[in-house]
Amino acid sequence: MIKLFSLKQQAKAGTNPQSTKKTSAAYLRVQKDIAELNLPKTCQLEFTDPDDLLNFRLIICPDEGFYRNGKFAFSFKVGPGYPHDAPKVKCETQVYHPNIDLEGNVCLNILREDWKPVLTINSIIYGLQFLFLEPNPDDPLNKDAAEVLRQNRRLFEQNVAKSMRGGYVGSTYFERCLK
C-alpha cells in the first residue's frame, strides 16, 4: 500500500516526478477508497500499472443468480473531478443483461444522477455486484433483455446461459464468459 504521508513529504520535497498527479484530490481519494476496500470474495481488482490508481479493472465472478460461474470485467477510469464526479465504468465483457448494453455501458443510478461525493469505489463495486444478483428490467439499457425478463423469466435464464456458454441470442453473438 502506498503511504499517504510519504507521498505528501515527497511532493513537498519535490522528489516525486509525478507529484502533481499523485497528490491531486482525485488520486488521494482513490488511494483512500482502495485502502478501505472490503471486497466480496466474488470480486477482484487488477491494476495494469501499479503507479496508476486512477485506471483499473474489476473482475466479478457471481456465485449465485442467473450469472453464477460467469466472469465479467469492468474498466474504471477515475477523472480529476473525483469524488465530485463519478468514475467512468464500462463492462468489457459482452453480456446479455437488461442494465448493460452491448457496448458495455452500465445503467447504475449511482454512476449517474444519484452520485454523491460521499460514495466510494466500494459503493460502485457492490452496486455492480447487485446488478448480477438482481437485474432490474425497469431501468434498462438493453430493452430486449429487459422485456424478456419481464415477460418470460425462464426464457431470460435460458438466454443468459446460452450467452455465457458462447453463442447467439437473437442475432447477437456472445463470447464464452464462464470461469
pLDDT one-digit tens code per residue, 26-41: 999 999 999 999 999 9
Domain edges within the chain: 36-174
Residue type, 155: L
The burial of 171, by beta-carbon neighbours within 10 Å (0-12 exposed, 13-18 middle, 19 or more buried), is given as exposed
Domain 36-174, CATH homologous superfamily name and number: Ubiquitin Conjugating Enzyme (3.10.110.10)
What letter represents residue 137's amino acid?
P
Give the pLDDT confidence of 81-116 residue by residue, as tens digits: 999 999 999 999 999 999 999 999 999 999 999 999
Whether 43 sits among the annotated catalytic residues: the reply is no
Rounded CA separation 80/78 (Å): 7
Q: List the helix and strand counts (H, then E) for the chain.
A: 6, 6
Indicate the pTM of the whole model.
Answer: 0.86
Q: Give, to the nearest 10 degrees, the angle between helix 25-35 and helix 121-133.
A: 60
Q: CA 106, 108, 113 angle in degrees (round to 5)?
A: 120
Catalytic residue (one of 43, 61, 91, 107): 107
Nearest-angstrom CA–CA distance, 9 and 136:
47
